Amino acid sequence: MDTRQLHQFVTLAETLHFGRASELCHISASALSRNIRQLETESGVSLFDRDNRSVALTSAGASFLRYARESLAQWELIRNQLMEESGELRGEVAIYCSVTASYSFLYELLSQFRAEHSGVEVKLHTGDPEYAIQRVQAGAEDIAIGARPDRMPAGLSFKPMAKTPLVFIAARNHPEWLPAKGRRDAEAWAAVPMILSERGLARSRVDAWFKSKKIQPTIYAQVAGNEAIVSMVSLGFGVGVLPQIVLDNSPLADKVTVLDVRPQLTAYDVGLLTLEKKLRNPIIRALWEQLK
Instruction: Identify the DSSP state of 266.
Output: P
Topology given in CATH for the domain delimited by 166-266: D-Maltodextrin-Binding Protein; domain 2 (3.40.190)
Res 79 pLDDT > 80: no
User: What is the gyration radius of the CA atoms in the chain, in angstroms?
Assistant: 23
Res 184 pLDDT > 60: no
Mean pLDDT value across residues 154-170? 94
Judge whether 284 and 93 are in contact, CB under 8 Å: yes
According to DSSP, the β-strands at 120-126 and 91-97 are parallel
State the pLDDT at residue 245: 92
Instruction: Judge if the upstream peptide bond of residue 129 is cis by omega within 30 degrees of 0.
Output: no
Mean pLDDT value across residues 84-109? 85
Among the residue ranges 12-16, 22-26, 78-82, 283-287, the one predicted with the least confidence is 78-82
Topology given in CATH for the domain delimited by 88-163+268-292: D-Maltodextrin-Binding Protein; domain 2 (3.40.190)
Chain CA centroid to CA 53, Å: 27
State the pLDDT at residue 203: 92
Q: For the chain, give every domain's residue range.
A: 1-87, 88-163+268-292, 166-266
State the pLDDT at residue 161: 93
Judge whether 83 and 76 are in contact, CB under 8 Å: no
Confidence of residue 185 (pLDDT cuts 50, 70, 90): low
Res 182 pLDDT > 60: no
More confident of the two residues 85 and 146: 146
What count of other Cβ atoms lies within 10 Å of the Cβ of residue 151? 6
Confidence of residue 43 (pLDDT cuts 50, 70, 90): very high
Confidence of residue 183 (pLDDT cuts 50, 70, 90): low
Q: What is the average pLDDT score of the chain? A: 88
Say which CATH class 1-87 falls into: mainly alpha
Instruction: Identify the DSSP state of 198.
Output: S
State the pLDDT at residue 181: 64
198-257 pLDDT, tens digit per residue, is: 988 899 999 999 998 888 999 999 998 788 999 999 999 999 999 999 999 999 999 999
State the pLDDT at residue 1: 67
Distance CA 256, CA 174 (A): 9
What's the whole-model pTM score?
A: 0.71
Distance CA 135, CA 130 (A): 10
Instruction: Judge if the upstream peptide bond of residue 263 is cis by omega within 30 degrees of 0.
Output: yes
What count of other Cβ atoms lies within 10 Å of the Cβ of residue 70? 10
99-150 pLDDT, tens digit per residue, is: 889 988 988 889 888 888 888 889 898 888 888 998 898 788 899 999 999 8
More confident of the two residues 80 and 239: 239
State the pLDDT at residue 215: 87
Confidence of residue 186 (pLDDT cuts 50, 70, 90): low
